[in-house]
Amino acid sequence: MVCSTAFLSLGRNQLDALGCPDAPIATIPHPFGLRTREEIRFIAEQCAAEIARLAHSGKDQGERSPAGRHAQQRAQRIEVPDDIDAFNEIALERRWSDGLPLVPPILERVNAMLEATARAHDEVVANVAPGFGAATVESIAVNAVMAGCRSAYLPVLLAAVEAAADRRFNLQGVQATTNSAAPWIIVNGPLARTLGVNSGPNCLGQGNRANSTIGRALRLVLQNIGGALPGEMDRATHGQPGKHTFCCAENEAESPWEPLHVERGFDRDESTVTVVGAAGTLNLNSHAKDADDLVKVLADSIVYPTSNDYHFGGQPWLVISPEHADVLARAGLSKSDVKRALWERSKMAAGRFAAKDYLRARHTRGPDLGEIGPATPIPISPTANEIGLIVAGGPGTHSVYVPTFGQTRAVTRRIGA
């Protein structure tokens, strides 16, 4: 493994999680973003020599296991004091907690949670990056209990874990990056209504148990099974509040267009979960009543030169409010029309990048766009169709822009039994 000095703890913790804690690590000095090309060349030569030395040292590499230290298929039982405050102190000490009070996952609560699924309790749903811990149905249920989920939410959480572990989502990148990335869960279909997942006023905020606890449970799974502890394998520079919980439903009843899951190939009467590698939210407040005027200001608002979506050709998302959706639909615009207009009008001149980022963009976007000069228009995503768009929220002339980690793609899974 090769790590910069600032990320040595990430490398060591990931090697430990993968079952080879004694594997050698070649280090390079951090930071190196401001170094000259000659300095970088020298560092690379030194690193190559170190790799060769370590490769010939004959040091024990340990046994590799895809599940590492989390390989057990059934959850361990431990004795803790019969007191919620004492349990939460233990959870904080052992780093099981997200910092908020947890519900103790006693056997009765976990068994009650498991009654909501027909899947075998020891079935491995996914190996969760970056530690690649084995997320069994039972271990996911344990984290669902701690998050405060109702048992009926478990199938949603199981589907969300499966979606997040899909290679296209790039959970390794989302979990270990310095960016403020967090999984955003979007629930569609009849089950969203049955469970009361909020799609209306304050759908991205507090006050709804399903939204709050489903999003929180996924975070606990990513931390406790995936091993992404803050400061260790989770290397976010700042993080974001959505790392506590980020979950909503689409307001299908007030949308003039087909819902997200139908757009993505599922039947309308199916229920699905979609996970998005979100980098935050931005309020888009406009009283525009002309569709062209509204598209113009929405497109202008999502253009900024520090966006990963521009750096890598990402998959940005917009949460369109029912009022804004009505303005667009009254003008005869389909969802694909809106995407195309946003894509065309949000192209950014490459010269707006910082000098270092301009050079990076020539490497990351050049293969698709060809030769890039300062005046080259850079699209926010490779195609218009890769802009994500849902209708959600309550009354008000507000929509929301959700930029992404960039090197991630949304994944949708059907919610099973």
* pLDDT, tens only, 179-215: 999 999 999 999 999 999 999 999 999 999 999 999 9
367 part of a folded domain: yes
pLDDT in tens, 239-276: 999 999 999 999 999 999 999 999 999 999 999 999 99
- Which ranges of 33-136 would DSSP assign to H, the alpha helix? 37-55, 84-93, 107-114
Number of domains in the chain: 3
Q: End of a domain among 221, 254, 287?
A: 254
238 and 109 share a domain?
A: yes
Amino acid identity, residue 73?
Q
263 part of a folded domain: no
What pLDDT score was predicted for residue 68? Answer: 43
Tokens of 233: 């394998």
Is the per-residue pLDDT at 10 higher than 90?
Answer: no
Listing DSSP states for 169-220 in one string gives G-HHHHHH-SS--EEEEEEESHHHHHHT---STTTTSSS-HHHHHHHHHHHH
Residues 411 and 169: beta-carbon distance below 8 Å: yes
358 and 217 share a domain?
A: no
Which of 333, 268, 249, 259 has the alpha carbon at shortest distance from 298? 333
What pLDDT score was predicted for residue 222? Answer: 98
**What mean pLDDT comes out for the span 306-332?**
98
78 and 102 share a domain?
A: yes
Minimum mean pLDDT among 28-42, 91-105, 307-321, 372-386: which range?
28-42
Q: Which regions of 244-402 does DSSP assign to beta strands (E)?
A: 247-249, 272-278, 282-285, 317-320, 348-349, 377-378, 388-391, 398-402
284 part of a folded domain: yes
214 and 310 share a domain?
A: no
pLDDT in tens, 368-398: 999 999 999 999 999 999 999 999 999 999 9
Is the per-residue pLDDT at 33 higher than 80?
Answer: no
7 and 119 share a domain?
A: no
Task: Tell me the residue range of the domain where 370 lies.
Answer: 271-414
What pLDDT score was predicted for residue 342? Answer: 98
151 part of a folded domain: yes
298 and 325 share a domain?
A: yes
What pLDDT score was predicted for residue 61? Answer: 44
What pLDDT score was predicted for residue 286? Answer: 98
265 part of a folded domain: no
Minimum mean pLDDT among 66-70, 105-109, 153-157, 236-240: which range?
66-70
pLDDT in tens, 113-171: 999 999 999 999 999 999 999 999 999 999 999 999 999 999 999 999 999 999 999 99
- CA distances to 140, 170, 228 from 233, rounded to whole Å, are 20, 15, 5
281 and 228 share a domain?
A: no
Question: 3-state DSSP call for residue 30?
Answer: coil
94 and 236 share a domain?
A: yes
- CA distances to 48, 95, 101, 131, 392 from 21, rounded to whole Å, are 22, 20, 32, 12, 46
75 and 172 share a domain?
A: yes
Q: How many CB atoms lie within 10 A of CB 103?
A: 16
Amino acid identity, residue 385?
N
Angle (CA) 96 132 79, round 5°? 30
Tokens of 376: 């080259």
- CA distances to 16, 119, 129, 232, 405 from 164, rounded to whole Å, are 22, 19, 9, 20, 14
What pLDDT score was predicted for residue 76? Answer: 83
226 and 99 share a domain?
A: yes
75 and 223 share a domain?
A: yes
Q: End of a domain among 219, 254, 289?
A: 254
What pTM value is reported for the model?
Answer: 0.91
262 part of a folded domain: no
What pLDDT score was predicted for residue 69? Answer: 44
Residues 273 and 53: beta-carbon distance below 8 Å: no
Q: End of a domain among 226, 254, 282?
A: 254
What pLDDT score was predicted for residue 226? Answer: 95
343 part of a folded domain: yes
Is the per-residue pLDDT at 67 higher than 50?
Answer: no
142 and 245 share a domain?
A: yes
What pLDDT score was predicted for residue 78? Answer: 85
Tokens of 328: 């667009």
Amino acid identity, residue 132?
F
Is the per-residue pLDDT at 336 higher than 80?
Answer: yes
Buried b (16+ CB within 10 A) or exposed e, 207-240: ebebbbbbbbbbbbbbbbbbbbeeebbbbbeebb
